[in-house]
A and B are shown apart, each in its own frame.
Chain A
């Protein structure tokens, strides 16, 4: 089984983003970026599948500007065998939508015959959570989203425990399939220094692919501290949350 893992370079989750003064987007220059946390989890699971001999090869793919290669090197250091960088000029990166990404992935899958595409459940920048189900639709493959456990079922099937609104459900999907990783699927490993060195020798293929008004959300102002519980209760009574 060959697994394709999508990894996205996003503003680091700990950064407090700022909207540009001209309201066209958020400030991305000189801001710490890293691999989308959900993609790290998807990659970890794919590498684990290889370690369990379920998967034969893990290939990481990223769409984006030249700096996406740093993210791909990280993926290689964490155990991906090969990387594919689909270069998009920096100026166009902000225009890429999940549909474009899904179409690129579809082309790669058709060309290179992958059996599983493993993505994060959402990117923490655009919060769209669309690429995996879009791709499943484009390929007409089954999908198992928000995976918190992935196991091999009988030959040619994977069994996936998914995190849904009311708890968990378990589905069986036929390979080829599209999966997306949720937070609690695993604990991603760190790239060790020897692996970072080895990653430099792993192959990276380069391909190229040929209205947004952003507003600050209304700012909540801090109210103030209350002295003690009785005063808090009093305030909540005034507001009518608690029956006097």
Chain B
């Protein structure tokens, strides 16, 4: 029962079957445009060394599919357009994925490690009786991968012996796939979609003119030191000067300064921008997990012993209420 069927330390030679392998990427979108993480996932999928197909499900899938077909490296796009698939509930997407898998027998089924990907991939894995692998950051071969554990404090190399590799990829670890493809678009086989077990009611998305946190080149984050939601305007102003996305520590979110979809960290968003400016953030293990792969880290904090300074390339020991306005004025 507990024999580790899918993870063994010893090296197993790749089976011959992988030569005829193919990967299915489950596309993420909001019925209007493709989610950027899908492009990172397509790049990762190509590293598995097999043909890449993309499945687009939804109420408005045909339009998105045309967009996906133009992505470099995409050989085939499967479209499942159905009103029942509006909002892509996992209970309804899973049967379509399974029907497609039954027809094409993919060697890997993958998605981005977003709320969507993390909902659908393990559900499909349960149906296929395979151990999935979450949040893969590196691909060594078609069956050997790297992922992080313990809030990024341990890196694990895993080998999957599962007949189908079900994985989610960390978006920030793979570059987005470029345009320049001409994949063939065809209809996905119909899945047996059950509509009685779950229903989408509504959503309330935070509106922001700023760059998306997970793909922004520069991110400015505020923590508990910002002290109030009014003061957070400082962080927004600095971000606007730099054309940056805005993030927050869990402490700032829990204190109600900003909305929780801005949380950077182990259980929030993982970001790896060119420049990360941490303002009034002490740098708990869980926060570092979400940003320590940033190229350059700047920390502004009153406390010279704050752990954030141990990972910062440039530390500024200063009162943020003085330093940030100074920076804004200087830019």
Q: Which residues of A contact B (CB under 8 A)?
A: 11, 13-14, 16-17, 19, 24, 26, 38, 88, 92, 95-100, 102-103, 121-122, 124-138, 141-146, 148, 159, 162-174, 177, 182-184, 209-217, 220, 222-226, 228-230, 232-233, 235-236, 239, 241-242
> Per DSSP, are chain A's interface residues mostly helix, strand or loop, or mixed?
mixed
* Given A163-B260, A167-B206, A239-B296; A211-B266 close (CB under 8 Å): no
Task: Tell me whether B126 and A133 are in contact (CB under 8 A).
Answer: yes
| A31 smallest CB distance to B (angstroms) | 11
Task: Tell me whether A96 and B2 are in contact (CB under 8 A).
Answer: yes
Task: Tell me whether B153 and A172 are in contact (CB under 8 A).
Answer: no
* Given A130-B122, A171-B198, A213-B157; A233-B150 close (CB under 8 Å): no
Query: Does B149 lie at the interface of the complex (its beta carbon under 8 Å from any beta carbon of A)?
Result: yes
Bound complex: CA A182 to CA B193 (Å): 27
Which segment of B74-82, B102-110, B113-121, B225-233 sits at the interface?
Answer: B113-121
Q: Which residues of B contact A (CB under 8 A)?
A: 1-4, 6-10, 87, 89-91, 94, 114-116, 118-127, 129-132, 134-135, 148-159, 196-206, 214, 218, 242, 250, 253-254, 259-261, 266-267, 269, 274-275, 285-286, 292, 296-298, 304, 309-318, 323, 326-327, 330-331
| A126 smallest CB distance to B (angstroms) | 5
Bound complex: CA A95 to CA B218 (Å): 39
Give every chain B residue within 8 A of A99 (Cβ-Cβ). 6, 125-126, 129-132
Task: Tell me whether B202 and A136 are in contact (CB under 8 A).
Answer: no
> Per DSSP, are chain B's interface residues mostly helix, strand or loop, or mixed?
mixed
* Given A26-B154, A214-B156; A229-B326 close (CB under 8 Å): yes
Give every chain B residue within 8 A of A169 (Cβ-Cβ). 87, 200-204
Task: Tell me whether B135 and A95 are in contact (CB under 8 A).
Answer: no
Task: Tell me whether A228 and B119 are in contact (CB under 8 A).
Answer: no
Bound complex: CA A24 to CA B149 (Å): 13
Task: Tell me whether B314 and A226 are in contact (CB under 8 A).
Answer: yes
Bound complex: CA A103 to CA B1 (Å): 9
Give every chain A residue within 8 A of B285 (Cβ-Cβ). 13-14, 16
Partner of B197, one of A141, A165, A239: A141
Task: Tell me whether B123 and A143 are in contact (CB under 8 A).
Answer: yes
The CB with the most chain A CB atoms within 10 A, among B94, B126, B304, B313, is that of B126
Bound complex: CA A122 to CA B316 (Å): 35
Partner of A97, one of B4, B149, B201, B266: B4
Partner of B196, one of A174, A184, A223, A226: A174
| B251 smallest CB distance to A (angstroms) | 12
Partner of A172, one of B3, B155, B198, B326: B198
Task: Tell me whether B315 and A223 are in contact (CB under 8 A).
Answer: yes
A-B contact pairs, 22 of them (CB 8 A): A24-B9, A88-B2, A102-B126, A103-B1, A127-B150, A127-B151, A129-B118, A129-B122, A136-B90, A136-B91, A142-B198, A164-B261, A169-B203, A210-B1, A211-B10, A212-B7, A216-B154, A220-B292, A226-B314, A232-B298, A232-B314, A232-B316
